[in-house]
Structure 1
Amino acid sequence: MGALLRPAAVPPLVDDPARIRDSYRRLALPDLHAAVSAAMRGSDTEIETESGTEIRRTRAVAAFSDWLHARVPTLTDEARLANALADLVEGDSSVLRVEDLATGLGVSTRTVQRLARRYVGLPPGAMIRRRRLQEAAERIRAEPAVDLAAIAADLGYADQAHLTNDFRSVLGHTPSRYRHDTP
């Protein structure tokens, strides 16, 4: 079982989110395992149907949610702001700088930096960079004929070379190579 958590849920479960960033962490949680396993068991009728699979999945999500709610305290304003930070980074492609995040959230750049470190484990600039690279990769997959310079401009890069350098440093190859290797 795996779970992707919103930023507000991270600090109650992990002291330093940067330490586990981009990794899978195996946890020995027998109570959670038992609850999810029980939720996934169903009658023979449920197991054999597509709707049965959905019913079991819904019960498993509810079991995990109940477990999580029992361990994560009521959200503070800061935790809600951390969720808003992640939403803004992921949902607004016009956000290109940390200052854009600060303005969008109505806080200082230092507050944005502190929130990102405590709740995400990444600097806010790196969060923006990831989103831009994900958008670039998606555009290259979805529109193989589109000009890379146009993608770079659309995503706020200074030029195609800047996109290429960023792409290579994070993904290990150029956008052109990615385009060629993507089916």
Structure 2
Amino acid sequence: MRATRGVLYPARLPDFHRLPPATAARDLAVWFWIPEWSIEPARSSRQEIVGYPALNLVVENGDVSLSGATTRASHRELTGTGWAVGALLRPAAVAALIDDPAALVDAEQPVVAPELADGVSAAMASGEGHRERAVAVFSEWLARRVGPLDDSARHANALVEVLMEEGAADSVEEAATRLAVSLRTLQRLAHRHVGVSPAAMIRRRRLQEAAEHLRLHPSVDLADLAADLGYADHAHLTRDFRNVLGIAPRAYRASSAQDVRSAAAPS
């Protein structure tokens, strides 16, 4: 999965880093994301995301929270000074953290993990190399919490690879064939380890790719883009885009271009 695909306005990001997990957690986290910000008083920075269909485990301000997959674009207003360290979880990590990830869709819940909170907070305050130390601490804690992986967890990781990564399946049926499982098994894996259906995961990938294309290639024809991404027509793409992102593709293309121009302008 490409690191910036779900970020709607990358030019607005604060000091932001995505680091790979340590070896112990390579089957448990796709990456760790670490924003650090210091924003002038009375100002804020609005961050807008159309997230991956996955759960995130986050340490911020001494607290730990688990957030579920989302059905709409989400945003957050950053103010003051702060940081967060989040793990974009692979499905294999989910069962050790929550019994029913579907109950956490569009929601979050606190996690009692003082060792994780204290360890990551100490690493982030440790000077040069702090981000790498935070990821190492987080990775080791996650590996201990999850323990050895069973076949179901490994199959769930493969499910996300087939549905979300380069060369991804274009349909639920194709994904089941690639994984050599039944449609029912595919649905069960997605529900238990992600919380949303395989079809919803495919739709989210297409929308992320649509937004990325509009941002990086503003002259792209919308009808051509819709066909390339597997939509029935331009109207289908526009309807999906507006329903999830809250904005039409043409309007998003214009606002994204304006953001890039503003970021490039001398301060």
> Aligned-pair RMSD on alpha carbons?
1.5
Closer, same or farther: CA 27–94 of 1 in aligned 2, 3 Å: closer
Identity %: 57
4+ runs deviating over 4 angstroms? none
Contact conserved, 1:168 with 1:174, CA < 8 A, in 2? yes
**Structure number with higher helix proportion:** 1
Are 1:85 and 2:169 matched, yes or no? no
Contact conserved, 1:152 with 1:159, CA < 8 A, in 2? yes
Corresponding residue for residue 25 of structure 2? none
Closer, same or farther: CA 3–25 of 1 in aligned 2, 3 Å: farther
Amino acid at match of 1:14: I
Of residues 245, 249, 259 in structure 2, which corresponds to 1:171?
245
Amino acid at match of 2:181: V
**Structure number with higher strand proportion:** 2
Of residues 113, 126, 130 in structure 2, which corresponds to 1:56?
130
Are 1:40 and 2:124 matched, yes or no? yes
Q: Mean Cα displacement is larger for which, 28-37 or 74-83?
A: 28-37
Closer, same or farther: CA 93–150 of 1 in aligned 2, 3 Å: farther
Amino acid at match of 1:37: S
Amino acid at match of 2:116: L
Per-residue displacement from partner, 1:147-174 (whole Å, max 9, x unpaired)? 0001000001111111111112211222
Quote how far apart the aligned CAs of 1:28 are: 3.5
Q: Distance in 2 between matches of 1:94 and 1:161?
A: 23
Contact conserved, 1:93 with 1:155, CA < 8 A, in 2? no
Q: Distance in 1 between matches of 2:120 and 2:165?
A: 31
Contact conserved, 2:170 with 2:202, CA < 8 A, in 1? yes
Quote how far apart the aligned CAs of 1:105 are: 0.9
Q: Distance in 2 between matches of 1:161 and 1:136?
A: 13
Q: Distance in 1 between matches of 2:214 and 2:124?
A: 38
User: What does 1:1-183 align with in structure 2 at a 5 Å threshold?
Assistant: 1=59, 2-42=86-126, 47=127, 52=128, 55-93=129-167, 95-183=169-257
Contact conserved, 1:8 with 1:80, CA < 8 A, in 2? yes
TM-score, reference length from structure 1:
0.88
- How many residues in Structure 1 have an aligned counterpart in Structure 2? 173
Contact conserved, 2:91 with 2:194, CA < 8 A, in 1? yes
Closer, same or farther: CA 30–94 of 1 in aligned 2, 3 Å: closer
Q: Which of the pair has more CA radius of gyration?
A: 1
Contact conserved, 2:162 with 2:168, CA < 8 A, in 1? no
Quote how far apart the aligned CAs of 1:40 are: 3.0
Q: Distance in 2 between matches of 1:63 and 1:21?
A: 27
Quote how far apart the aligned CAs of 1:27 are: 2.6
Per-residue displacement from partner, 1:33-61 (whole Å, max 9, x unpaired)? 1222233343xxxx2xxxx2xx2222211
Q: Distance in 2 between matches of 1:94 and 1:26?
A: 33
Which consecutive residues of structure 1, in runs of 5 or more, have no partner in the other structure?
none
Q: Distance in 1 between matches of 2:114 and 2:135?
A: 16
